[in-house]
Amino acid sequence: MISWSDSGQTHEARWRSESGASAPRRVVVVDDTLPADTAYRLACEGTGLLWQGDFQNARMLLQALMRRADRKPRKVAARAAEKVAAATPAEAFHLHRQAQAQRARVLSALLIPLEADYGIALRRAPDLRQACEEAWGPPPGERMVASLRELLGLVGAHEWRKKGVEVPALGPPPNNRIHPHYGVFSPVRGEYVDLVAAAPLPSAALAFDIGTGTGVLAALLVRRGVQQVVATEQ
């Protein structure tokens, strides 16, 4: 659960995070009057920013937070570069993951309230109910709060699922599209698909696709003539 105070009253809602991130311990109600620099400072401090203004302005604020997160002062950037240069490959990878996690935490601080049916009662808010239901299942019947960044990810996944991704290795259009669901990688980069399409097959009797995701490799193996393909996912 996540709680906040507004006009002297305490409110509470269900916290929704597909990444498993914890709800912010401190939440402040903000709107279109919040300067981007102040928002970035609060986000870096771990404060959740519960948006009550125009939805499209929230998207613009998120873009402003991204610019600030990627624009480090020269001294800070220089120290980070020195640390990476002196690190082993494993340490450098850890530092990179650490920086990415911090960036994600900051950008996830901008929060959007959702109604019990996944509706968003903000000015100029789009109807994201179908996208939310595809990713999260039927509405739970209670108000929720989720990060704007995650909601925009749901919208992107919904569009991929609706329009599909053309995969040339699966043949000519229109029957060469994969429609990925939320939570799996969309096959927009085809290097690994082309590799499987060209690699010699040790057998055409049976193949296993472990961690199939969208199923694009399983479909490709079937197209190449493999008689039985076992595709598994966690």
Tokens of 30: 């903000």
Tokens of 108: 């996830």
Give the Cα separation of 186 and 112 in Å (integer).
26
Give the Cα separation of 230 and 209 in Å (integer).
6
Kindly give the confidence (pLDDT) of every residue in the chain, 234 residues in length, as a single tens digit, with 9 standing for 90 and above: 999 998 889 999 999 998 888 999 999 999 999 999 999 999 999 999 999 999 999 999 999 999 999 887 666 666 766 676 777 888 778 777 888 888 989 999 999 999 999 999 999 999 999 999 999 999 999 999 999 999 999 998 898 888 888 999 999 988 899 998 888 888 777 788 999 999 999 999 999 999 999 999 999 999 999 999 999 987
pLDDT at 126: 94
Report the SS3 class of residue 5.
strand
pLDDT at 75: 64
The crossing angle, in degrees rounded to 10, of helices 55-70 and 36-44 is 70
pLDDT at 74: 66
Per-residue model confidence as pLDDT tens digits over 50-66: 999 999 999 999 999 99
In sign, the C-alpha dihedral spanning 43, 49, 55, 57 is negative
Measured between alpha carbons, how far is residue 64 from residues 36, 146, 218 in Å?
Answer: 6, 19, 41
pLDDT at 127: 95
Question: SS3 string of 114-144?
Answer: ECCCCCCCCCCCCCCHHHHHHHHCCCCCCCE
Give the Cα separation of 165 and 160 in Å (integer).
7
Q: Specify the pTM.
A: 0.79
In sign, the C-alpha dihedral spanning 20, 178, 197, 231 is positive
Give the Cα separation of 158 and 152 in Å (integer).
10
pLDDT at 186: 80
